[in-house]
Amino acid sequence: MKISRREFVEMSLASAAGLCAGGYATSTVAAEASTSLPEEDGYKLWLRYAPPGDAAKACRQTVQQIRVEGTSATSGIIRGELHSATSAMLGGNVPLNEKDLVGGTVVVGTPGNSALIRDFNWASAWGGVGDEGFIIRSTRIENKSVTVIAANTDIGALYGSFHFLRLMQTGQAIDKLDLAEHPALQLRLMNHWDNPGGTIERGYAGRSLWQWNELPGKISPRYADYARACASLGINGAVINNVNADSHILAADNLRKVAALADGWRPYGVRVYVSANFAAPVRVGGLKTADPLDKGVADWWKAKADEIYGLIPDFGGFLVKANSEGQPGPKTYGRTHADGANVLADALAPHNGKVMWRAFVYDDDIDPDRAKRAYIEFTKLDGKFRPNVVIQVKNGAIDFQPREPFHPLFGALKQTPVIAEIQATQEYLGQAKHLVYLGTMWKEFLDSDTHAKGSGSTVAKVLAGKIQPSHLTGMVSVANPGLDTNWCGHHFSQSNWYAFGRLAWNPELSAEKIAEEWTRLTFTNDDKAVAVLRNLMMGSRETFVNYTMPLGLHHLIGGDHYAPQPWNDRAPRADWTATYYHKAAADGIGFDRTKRGDHAVEQYFPPVCEMFDDITQCPEKYLLWFHRCAWDYQMKSGKILWDALCAKYQAGAKEVAVMQTAWQSLAGKIDARRHKEVADRLAIQAADAATWRDQILEYFGRFSKRAVPRSS
């Protein structure tokens, strides 16, 4: 559901009033109530398994015992998860019984390990759910009412079990289930930017999860907890190291450490991938060159792949950042990105490994506009990559900005698989100090119509291979959880890990549904509190855009990617400055990417091209991305651009105050520890929003020569 700014404010305040008619955080009633809830630290994420309120009684009738077929490690995980989760939610021991069948038994298994499931005539369903999907049905066996969670594989059964528990946790009816699910995308991966020394690039939740100096001998229990959290969402892989890769990740001693992680994650269906440095043949192998067309280099990569698969039989493959931001790559040797990707792909192909080659390249000799460069490079190479290469493309053409139009490469590559790269770690969106739910941002991206094959060719359908048929599909997220107790720094940053997993499984899910699910799993099933939290989350990204970079503005920051620095005009390269993008001057502001400007709009299919090109049709949220406008340009509201810009910044700062009020109203509904920790972060956010508003408008006011209108 899309809500306006005004609706968000009104809904939040109304919900707050309903929760605390006599006041909010400072009320005696709220203060007393807050002490009655046990404090939580956020470690359990969305897997708290709190009693589901009024739904618990009905659940007890349906879940009387657990029967999990099979003897594999994954079957053991399912058995333990269902037993502990249902016992916690239902307030008493739910027994495991794999011999006797009684009414209210939850049966889990596959046709390969369960005669009960094999006997069902579900042949048509088995093919539909594939290797990772599942079926959940309320049925009768031996004239007893049971719930069957069935799949073709143990991993599918694990995903089905987590889905069943999610239904229970969120208070949904489970007595008449008949559903079948399977993932829309094949590769659903976490991308970690962790370094061997324990630091995390763009990490805001402490040091690296991976205790590199202790592996492989010592295995932290947190590794399994991480894999469990991923599996609960259907995330099936993790790239464990920074894309700015240390080449020695491929050294023999480090590969044994990678193998230790892989061994622990395998029962959860989480495969290990690594970021490979293109210069590894030189830096690790001692060769004189990393030229991808050199036979010695090809042989080195093949031998390295054989070594890896000898340790990790289900190794996923390599992620590569090449010839980008100082990283080595094939262009160093006069070769193309296809040449570079293919030498690695040939090495991995005998083992069914994949190469994910990042399209985040922006050499300034390609085009003066950074936003155009990746499209130009990769469209020329379409069809020249090996079948096991996928091009990993960021959601927008610049760099995870608070708002960008979708990258024009989506739909443009017809013979090369493309997967999307999104970012949960909030590098440009408040860095775990600001509450920003990104489900709405990603849905805006996924629902964007590329018109690659006419109307309805959404990015989501492109990724799923429904527009240009593709044998490889996927979506990945730069997530960067760390050693902070709550994993993500900000309690609400957990929602972005959760939202990524749910959208990678099913890009058609609504941001609102995901927000409500996460809220009920993480905080409470109280309907009034859920309404407050859902509304707060649904408006939070738009609020952030308003007080930082509205109306298509982008990159108004410095090297920390956090604080406002619109005056930033000095950096090692022009496209790392802010002035390169906003181009503010006395005559106006904005980057002209129209047909009369640098022609960037022409990288989009018609009629998207025409919409962005025509200033009267271009959505105003992208106005200054595509158009350079005079300060007195008249907006659709009737305001001139300067006044509209001021109004956005003023509204954003006000909306953070509304978020604070909404959160304070939940005192007594949220445990005291988490309530205070979020309140403290919201105080930082409010101060930062005011700083953004004041410094941005003061700076741009120097060019507009106009006063800031009084806020309404």
Distance, in Å, from the CA atom of 193 to the CA atom of 184, rounded to the nearest integer, reads: 26
Q: Which range is least confidently modeled, 12-26, 338-352, 374-388, 566-580? A: 12-26
Contact present, 389 and 423 (Cβ < 8 Å): no
Sort residue 27 into left (φ over 0), alpha (ψ -120 to 50) or beta.
Answer: beta
CA angle at 58 for the pair 53 and 62, rounded to the nearest 5°: 130
**Cβ neighbours for 575, distance < 8 A, ≥ 6 positions apart:** 362, 364, 370
Alpha-carbon distance values, 123 to 112, 117, 176, 351, 362 (Å): 13, 11, 21, 31, 50
Contact present, 247 and 320 (Cβ < 8 Å): no
Distance, in Å, from the CA atom of 47 to the CA atom of 26, rounded to the nearest integer, reads: 31
pLDDT for the residue 588:
98
pLDDT for the residue 439:
98
Can 7 be counted among the known catalytic residues? no
Q: What is the sign of the dihedral through the CA atoms of 47, 48, 54 and 60?
A: positive
Backbone angles phi, psi at 569, to 5 degrees: -130, 15
Tokens 């094949």 found at: 186
The model's confidence at residue 128, banded by pLDDT at 50, 70 and 90, is confident
Backbone angles phi, psi at 168, to 5 degrees: -65, -50
* Assigned CATH class of 1-43+524-591+628-712: alpha beta
343: helix, coil or strand?
Answer: helix
Q: Is residue 16 predicted with pLDDT exceeding 90?
A: no
Catalytic residue among 325, 569, 680, 698: 325
pLDDT for the residue 7:
52
pLDDT for the residue 304:
98
pLDDT for the residue 53:
87
- Amino acid identity for residue 548 in this structure: T
For the chain, where do the domains classified as CATH 3.30.379.10 start and end? 53-181
**Cβ neighbours for 26, distance < 8 A, ≥ 6 positions apart:** none
Distance, in Å, from the CA atom of 612 to the CA atom of 643, rounded to the nearest integer, reads: 23
Please, which residues bridge with residue 147 across strands?
106, 138
* pLDDT tens string 503-546: 999 999 999 999 999 999 999 999 999 999 999 999 999 999 99
Contact present, 322 and 357 (Cβ < 8 Å): yes
The model's confidence at residue 2, banded by pLDDT at 50, 70 and 90, is very low
pLDDT for the residue 28:
30
Q: Is residue 17 predicted with pLDDT exceeding 70?
A: no
Alpha-helical runs (H) found in 204-313? 221-231, 252-265, 280-283, 295-311
Q: Is residue 306 predicted with pLDDT exceeding 60?
A: yes
Average pLDDT, the chain: 94
Mean pLDDT of 300-315: 98
Distance, in Å, from the CA atom of 462 to the CA atom of 471, rounded to the nearest integer, reads: 12
Distance, in Å, from the CA atom of 384 to the CA atom of 112, rounded to the nearest integer, reads: 41
pLDDT for the residue 36:
82
For the chain, where do the domains classified as CATH 3.90.1330.10 start and end? 1-43+524-591+628-712
Q: Is residue 625 predicted with pLDDT exceeding 90?
A: yes
200: helix, coil or strand?
Answer: strand
Catalytic residue among 246, 427, 484, 613: 427
**Cβ neighbours for 150, distance < 8 A, ≥ 6 positions apart:** 108, 109, 110, 111, 114, 117, 120, 122, 134, 135, 136, 137, 157, 160
Per-residue H/E/C for 680-700? HHHHHHHHHHHHHHHHHHHHH
For the chain, where do the domains classified as CATH 3.20.20.80 start and end? 187-507
pLDDT for the residue 11:
47
Q: Is residue 224 predicted with pLDDT exceeding 80?
A: yes
Distance, in Å, from the CA atom of 682 to the CA atom of 458, rounded to the nearest integer, reads: 35
pLDDT for the residue 31:
37
* Assigned CATH class of 187-507: alpha beta
Distance of CA 572 to the CA centre of its chain: 30
* pLDDT tens string 39-88: 999 999 999 999 998 888 889 999 999 999 999 999 999 999 999 999 99
Catalytic residue among 132, 291, 339, 399: 399
* pLDDT tens string 140-178: 988 999 999 999 999 999 999 999 999 999 999 999 999
What CATH number is given for 53-181 in this structure?
3.30.379.10
Alpha-carbon distance values, 578 to 114, 362, 557 (Å): 61, 16, 6
Can 325 be counted among the known catalytic residues? yes
DSSP letter string, 633-676: PBPTTS-BHHHHHHHHHHHHHHHHHHHHHHHHTTBTTB-HHHHH
* pLDDT tens string 437-480: 999 999 999 999 999 999 999 999 999 999 999 999 999 999 99
- Centre a 10 Å sphere on the Cβ of residue 54 and count the other Cβ atoms it contains: 10
Can 427 be counted among the known catalytic residues? yes
Helix axes of 154-169 and 221-231: crossing angle, nearest 10 degrees: 80
* pLDDT tens string 268-295: 999 999 999 999 999 999 999 999 999 9
Q: Which range is least confidently modeled, 27-41, 95-109, 543-557, 624-638? A: 27-41
